[in-house]
Structure 1
C-alpha cells in the first residue's frame, strides 16, 4: 500500500469567491484567458460543465512541459462553493500517484474570500515526492485569475 498525502493551500482572493467558483464550475474553458501561460484549454469530454459526472480534459503547461489531464467532477457543493475532481488519466501524475484528487473550495471569513486548494493523493512508492510544485502551480493560477478579474493594485 502506498503512502497517502494531502497538501492544502488557502489564498486570499480579492476578485470575489463567487467569480472564482463560477469560473471553475460553468466556464473552465475561459481559464485559458485568465491564465494563458499555465492553461491552454479545457475540453468537455462527457456530460455538461458544472454537473457532477462531467468528464473534462485540461490542456496545460507545468514546469515548462505541455500536458493533458482528464478529470471527472465527483462533487459540487454549492453551499460550500466546493468542486472535487478525480484524476482519470493523462499528465504524468498517475505515473507517480495511484490516486490524485483536487478539491477547490471557496469560503468567506469576514470580508475576506479564501480559495482553498486541497491535493489528496496516494503515492505509488516511497520514492515519489509530494506534489508541492503542483500546489504552487494552482496558487499561481489563482493569482492569475485574481489579476485578470480584479486588476493589479
Structure 2
C-alpha cells in the first residue's frame, strides 16, 4: 500500500467536520466540482454508509461509490473507502482520510488529507494529481464562503 498525505489551511465559519459527515452539502457549495452526492445505504454521518459521488476531475465527469469506514469524533476525522468508480481503474484499493483541526479561536481550519492506495500496475501513477484536486476543492469551498447549517 502507498500513502500520500498533505494539508492546507482554509477559513471557514462553523464546523468544517460537519460537512464531511453530511457531504450532500458539497454539491450545493461547489457545484462546479461536485455535481451530486447521494446516500445509497445507511444514514448520513455513520460508519458503514454508502455514498455515491459524481464529480469533475481532469475535465471529465467521474463517479465514485464510497463506504464510510471510520469516524473519529475526537480527532474530527473520517475515512472513506472507494468501492466502485473511476479511481478503481488505476488502483485496486483506495482510501481517503480527511481530518479537520481548528487553529485557535478564529475561523482558520487545517484540512489534512491522506490517501492510502494500491496500484493495479507499476504503470499507474502516484495519486498526486488527485491529492491536488482534493486540496483545491477545499479552496473552492473556502472561496464559496457560503455558510451551511451546523
Q: TM-score, normalised by structure 1?
A: 0.88
Is this contact kept in 1: 2:29–2:146, CA < 8 A?
A: no
Which residue of the partner structure matches residue 69 of structure 1?
64
What secondary structure sits across from 2:11 in the alignment?
coil
RMSD (CA atoms): 1.6
Q: How many residues align?
A: 145
> Which segments of 5 or more consecutive residues in structure 1 lack a partner in the other structure?
none
For 1:83 and 1:149, the matched residues in 2 are separated by 23
Q: Which of 113, 116, 123 lines up with 1:127 in the alignment?
A: 123
What secondary structure sits across from 2:68 in the alignment?
strand
What secondary structure sits across from 1:22 in the alignment?
helix
For 2:139 and 2:85, the matched residues in 1 are separated by 25
> Which segments of 5 or more consecutive residues in structure 2 lack a partner in the other structure?
none
For 1:19 and 1:31, the matched residues in 2 are separated by 14
For 1:99 and 1:70, the matched residues in 2 are separated by 13
Matches within 5 A, 1:29-68: 29-68=24-63
Q: TM-score, normalised by structure 2?
A: 0.90
